[in-house]
Chain A
Amino acid sequence: MTEIKSVVCPICGCLCDDLEVTVENNEIIKMKNGCAQCEAKMVHGYKSEERILKPMIRKDGKLVPVSMDEAVHKAAQILTDAKYPLLFGWSSSTSEAQQVGVELAEELGSALDNCCSVCHGPSVMAEQEIGIPSCTLGQIRHRADLVIYWACDPWASHPRHLERYTSFTEGRFEGSEWKNYMEKLKGAASQKKVALASRRILGSYNPPIHPQTCTVDAPPQAINKNGRKLIVVDVRKTITAEAADYFLQVEPNKDYEILESMRCLVADQELDVDKVGGVPVEYLKEVTDAMVNCDFGVIFFGLGLTQSAGRFRNIEIAIALTRDLNRRTKFVISPMRGHFNVTGANVVFAWQTGYPYALDFSQGYPQYNPGEFTAIDLLRRGDNDATLVISSDPGANFPRGAMQNMMKHPIITINPDMNAISRLGDVVFPTQWCGIECEGTAYRMDLVPIMLHKVVEPPKGILNDEELLRKILEEIRAIKAKNPETENNAELKARNKLAPRIEIKQRKKTKKAEVA
């Protein structure tokens, strides 16, 4: 039995690296410090009966186990035969595997996209419009006395975020609010008991049916107290909201108006309306006062902003608000990245190509255009004629319209277990669980690189993403070399003859008068 410390959790963007894992007979039997999701994966999920142990090819409608060589050859053939394949996923692979992905897309002249296009792609787009004032999570721990979770529910998606990085952590300059939260919970529990008892005495209670508006409470004094304050803004009361000093409930699709109103209030402008997005303006004023008066504030935002109406404009306005606040105090903003290495996919694609996602290599050089080369858009238009899906599950997570188009052409999957897309694949590859069976680099939601550990040996014959992709790439090159007259090869040769760089012409000098 071995105990391994400082193990890195390979699930969400928190990338917690303080796990203690007990391994016996090459199996994880115990895990300490991780959240419920981590417990589910590390102790149960990774060794479930849904694990793929052999490559498979769909023959006569059924997935049949085949040798690795046969599967690699079939996958390579599909990708070389295709005129315009799409390589999608990447967010739960290591940075090393993502690098091979770029090389593969370049070799094929294919589209290359990662999961952020259905997650925080709009956040990246907003950053490209306006930049982003941000910091690493430790800065929050040490300094933040105002934490705002906007349109996200860390208790559900990033369960240890508060205890590791924000309200319930001890920093150099700010303390933990854990004790106060526990007191509040006890108080709430007693209140519930009283309410239940009253109901028993007074008979059952039918609340009136409300019209379609939400109820908003006034901000309490707690948002002006010393020490850390927590404000949650969301369309529904989540568990994170229950832990907050103030929960601001807003109408769906109204975040843009609310954020823009807050910008006006921060700039000491008067608003002509009484309510914005269902929230009375005087409540918004109290919240912006708390923001201006804090020593160090942070807005963490999630898919509630990236996925509702306005998409990247919502993020852009939230960043603009943060920027405005920097004229009055110190304020930062940070996206709650979902998968443990979706940030890594953006980082790797960007350093190798200049662009973070929504890539196209059909011209022989990287092109970027969200809305054109993003996976959903390609699928909607039926532009791609083969798809490779790696370390992700569009089968479960893409809208059915897009998936139905994907189904019209061959699908190659690379995942450790029989998730939805593996069940739908034509060539299905097994792979190692990153951070459990193989090591590699991942990038935390705040861009900090952390190396994942290997704690158990993988099942025999199963490669990791990087090795498998290399095999497929080599086979593709071998197929192309054997077929010099294929269209793809001819195209490549033609491209090679062209000048490697497109120079910019110098702007002509004008004769305008000099501005003194």
Chain B
Amino acid sequence: MTELLIKNGFVFDPINKINGEKMDIAIKDGKIVQKVSSKAHVIDASGLTVMPGGVDIHTHIAGGEVNTGRIIRPDDHVKDVERKTAMTRSGTGYSIPSTFTTGYRYSRMGYTTVMNPSMAPLQAKHTHEELNDIPLLDKATYPLLGDWWFVLENLAKGNVEECAKHVAWMMDITKGYAIKIVNPGGLESWGFGHNVHSIDDKVPNFCITPREIITGLARVNAMLNLPHSIHLHTNNLGLPGNYITTLDTMKALESVPYNGKPVGHITHLQFASFAGDGWAHFQSASEEISSYINAHNHMTFDMGQVIFTDTTTMTADGPFEFSLYELGGHNKWVNSDIETETSGGIIPFTYKKNSPVNALQWSIGLELALLIKDPWKMFMSTDHPNGGPFFAYPRVLAWLYSKKAREITLKHCNKKAQKKSLLPSIDREMSLYEIAIMTRAGQAKALGLSNKGQLGVGADADVAIYDINPEKLDIARQFKVARKAFKHTTYTIKDGTIVVKDGEVVNNKTPGRTMWLDIQTKNPCVIDEEMKRKFKQYWTIEYDNYPVFEHYLKVPQKLTIKASV
């Protein structure tokens, strides 16, 4: 069907400042339009909440590391299976679902765009092969560049422009969307088993510090006019007292010229907001961090909320994963360093309510979201699957919009954590409007995806319709009812096609697009014989075989950017 009319729903479209207004949304040929003909298929959305399709700025769903996680966790899959149906492929879950299952489950929750935040450039083809197999969603992925030798060498010499050209080249050949930086300098150090411990530590064998990498790449990002800012996983992640490093990082980025567009995004902020001088004196630093954020506008963040369940941690932060292994209690540890580029690690992990640390981590994520006043700065995420599986998002939302929900969970947490938690003193309950910002509008805006996260004319017709009547349902008091509604949409619409109805996939012909950046620099990176020779020295594959050829993207969507260099 090419024409669709969603009638009479309560529309929440923050980008267009629509806050629960009863209105119609008209769709034609996959786009939101002003109006449609009488031939349009009508969805009666009376009493229902209509939002733009969900946008997830950070979720590990595809690529080498995710897949190694799948391989080592048959115990995770056996308890959560999806049968083949006439409409859907079979698969398994729980914390690392197989690809088809990932697409269906996100779509059932009303999500329509997801961003895979970590891609080792050398394994980029693998990431794209998996993204092709995630149906019903638009996707993009971020290449890991913070420890790439070409970046380290150029920035060490102060050649920011040369660095920018190489980054543009890398974005093109990996078909990437944003510059991802993880524990900058730490991953190269981990090549010999070391790490960095502050943003001013020197990286062994390279004359550079994390501060220089972060600010250098932020400048590169601005030169290239990339739609998203640098996407940063800070140094010292997961260590007590690391909030100092997080503050130092945010302050360092103040030096990057700011023209109204954020210059950096710190991801899974919860893991970077720890105070205390050790695990025994572990404290929340959400007040310090949120105070800074409330006073500064140059950055965006996502939560990295913890869920009390058995999940799997996986990040490019190899040294962090090893330190998690050393904490004890984990028998499986994967390490995967990637030559010239990055590293990685995986540890299955269970967050427990009776653990004083885990319970306080749970509190920290929510404290941050509630203390940061502007929901356009802080987005909902669990850093899936690191904090918890993505299908637990409705639980996170319930904690955000219902103090009662928070109290009930906090009551079962470790007593020490209860005492340290700031939640009892926080009364804030997010409205549906703020939820819409934190789960779609804000994320789309931070990503520079102007056609997503909103229902204005011209936007992609990605819509989620939930069984929530804002006039009749008090989501704070009846949080379980609202939570159930967020679990399965009444309708999910992708590019103007109904793909999910009453929580079931009804159309499987929508593979979704893979978005990538075609950055046009004035003087492109010169790939001469010298560069090819260097390439051969640095990597174990030939230059000719390195790029992701275009046919690797089943449904590509090229976004052309004009750089300033």
Complex A–B touching at CB under 8 A: yes
Report A-chain residues with C-beta under 8 Å of the C-beta of B347.
131
Instruction: Report the bound CA distance from A17 to B418 in whole Å.
Output: 58
Contact B337–A355 (Cβ < 8 Å): no
Interface centre among A132, A141, A326, A502, by most B CB within 10 Å? A132
Instruction: Report the bound CA distance from A495 to B346 in whole Å.
Output: 35
Report B-chain residues with C-beta under 8 Å of the C-beta of A512.
354
Contact A354–B77 (Cβ < 8 Å): yes
Within 8 A of A (CB), among B317-352: 322, 325-326, 331-340, 343, 346-347
- Give the contacting residue for B98; candidates A129, A134, A352; CB below 8 A: A352
- Give the contacting residue for A138; candidates B73, B133, B340; CB below 8 A: B340
Contact A136–B331 (Cβ < 8 Å): no
- Give the contacting residue for A355; candidates B64, B74, B123; CB below 8 A: B74
By size class, the interface of chain B is: 35 or more
Instruction: Report the bound CA distance from A356 to B73 in whole Å.
Output: 11
**In this assembly, does B311 line the interface, its C-beta being within 8 Å of a C-beta of chain A?**
no
Q: A106-B89, A134-B336, A368-B78 are in contact. List 15 more A-B contacts (CB 8 A).
A: A17-B541, A141-B339, A142-B339, A165-B540, A296-B193, A323-B333, A364-B90, A366-B92, A447-B123, A449-B129, A450-B125, A495-B83, A496-B85, A501-B81, A515-B354
Instruction: Report the bound CA distance from A95 to B544 in whole Å.
Output: 20
Proximity bits, A57-84, B CB within 8 Å = 1, else 0: 0000000000000000000000000000
Report A-chain residues with C-beta under 8 Å of the C-beta of B72.
127-128, 131-132
Contact A351–B67 (Cβ < 8 Å): yes
Min CB gap A40→B, angstroms:
23
Report A-chain residues with C-beta under 8 Å of the C-beta of B122.
136, 448
Proximity bits, B164-199, A CB within 8 Å = 1, else 0: 000000000000000000000000000111000000
**In this assembly, does B549 line the interface, its C-beta being within 8 Å of a C-beta of chain A?**
yes
Instruction: Report the bound CA distance from A142 to B542 in whole Å.
Output: 16
Instruction: Report the bound CA distance from A509 to B343 in whole Å.
Output: 39
**In this assembly, does A32 line the interface, its C-beta being within 8 Å of a C-beta of chain B?**
no
Given contacts A135-B335, A135-B337, A353-B90, contact A365 B537 (CB under 8 A): no
**In this assembly, does A217 line the interface, its C-beta being within 8 Å of a C-beta of chain B?**
no
Proximity bits, A462-502, B CB within 8 Å = 1, else 0: 00000000000000000000000000000000011010111
Instruction: Report the bound CA distance from A504 to B86 in whole Å.
Output: 23
Instruction: Report the bound CA distance from A131 to B65 in whole Å.
Output: 12
Min CB gap A161→B, angstroms:
11
Given contacts A127-B72, A139-B337, contact A329 B193 (CB under 8 A): yes
Report B-chain residues with C-beta under 8 Å of the C-beta of A128.
71-74, 332
Min CB gap A32→B, angstroms:
14
Min CB gap B147→A, angstroms:
12
**In this assembly, does B415 line the interface, its C-beta being within 8 Å of a C-beta of chain A?**
yes
Proximity bits, A204-224, B CB within 8 Å = 1, else 0: 000000000000000000000
Report B-chain residues with C-beta under 8 Å of the C-beta of A347.
67, 126
Within 8 A of B (CB), among A415-459: 441, 443, 447-451
Min CB gap B511→A, angstroms:
13
Contact A17–B89 (Cβ < 8 Å): no
Contact A502–B339 (Cβ < 8 Å): no
Contact B88–A138 (Cβ < 8 Å): no
Number of A residues near B (Cβ < 8 Å) is: 75
Instruction: Report the bound CA distance from A504 to B97 in whole Å.
Output: 15
Looking at chain A's contact residues, is the secondary structure mostly helix, strand, loop, or mixed? mixed
**In this assembly, does A285 line the interface, its C-beta being within 8 Å of a C-beta of chain B?**
no
Contact B88–A500 (Cβ < 8 Å): yes
**In this assembly, does A275 line the interface, its C-beta being within 8 Å of a C-beta of chain B?**
no
A-B pairs, 9 with minimum CB distance? A138-B339, A330-B193, A354-B92, A135-B337, A131-B332, A6-B544, A354-B77, A133-B335, A449-B125
Measured CB to CB, the nearest residue on chain B to A509 is B412
Given contacts A326-B193, A347-B126, A354-B74, contact A132 B82 (CB under 8 A): no
Report B-chain residues with C-beta under 8 Å of the C-beta of A514.
354, 414-415
Could you jot down 10 A-B contacts, CB within 8 Å? A106-B90, A130-B332, A136-B338, A141-B540, A352-B98, A353-B91, A368-B77, A450-B125, A495-B84, A514-B415
**In this assembly, does B100 line the interface, its C-beta being within 8 Å of a C-beta of chain A?**
yes
**In this assembly, does B205 line the interface, its C-beta being within 8 Å of a C-beta of chain A?**
yes
Instruction: Report the bound CA distance from A135 to B540 in whole Å.
Output: 13
**In this assembly, does A47 line the interface, its C-beta being within 8 Å of a C-beta of chain B?**
no
Within 8 A of B (CB), among A286-323: 295-296, 323
Contact B356–A133 (Cβ < 8 Å): no
**In this assembly, does A137 line the interface, its C-beta being within 8 Å of a C-beta of chain B?**
yes
**In this assembly, does A104 line the interface, its C-beta being within 8 Å of a C-beta of chain B?**
no
**In this assembly, does A409 line the interface, its C-beta being within 8 Å of a C-beta of chain B?**
no
Given contacts A135-B338, A353-B91, contact A106 B331 (CB under 8 A): no
**In this assembly, does A202 line the interface, its C-beta being within 8 Å of a C-beta of chain B?**
no
**In this assembly, does B70 line the interface, its C-beta being within 8 Å of a C-beta of chain A?**
yes
Given contacts A131-B346, A138-B339, A447-B68, contact A354 B98 (CB under 8 A): yes
Instruction: Report the bound CA distance from A287 to B539 in whole Å.
Output: 30
**In this assembly, does B407 line the interface, its C-beta being within 8 Å of a C-beta of chain A?**
no
- Give the contacting residue for B356; candidates A141, A366, A504, A516; CB below 8 A: A516
Min CB gap B52→A, angstroms:
26
Report B-chain residues with C-beta under 8 Å of the C-beta of A372.
none
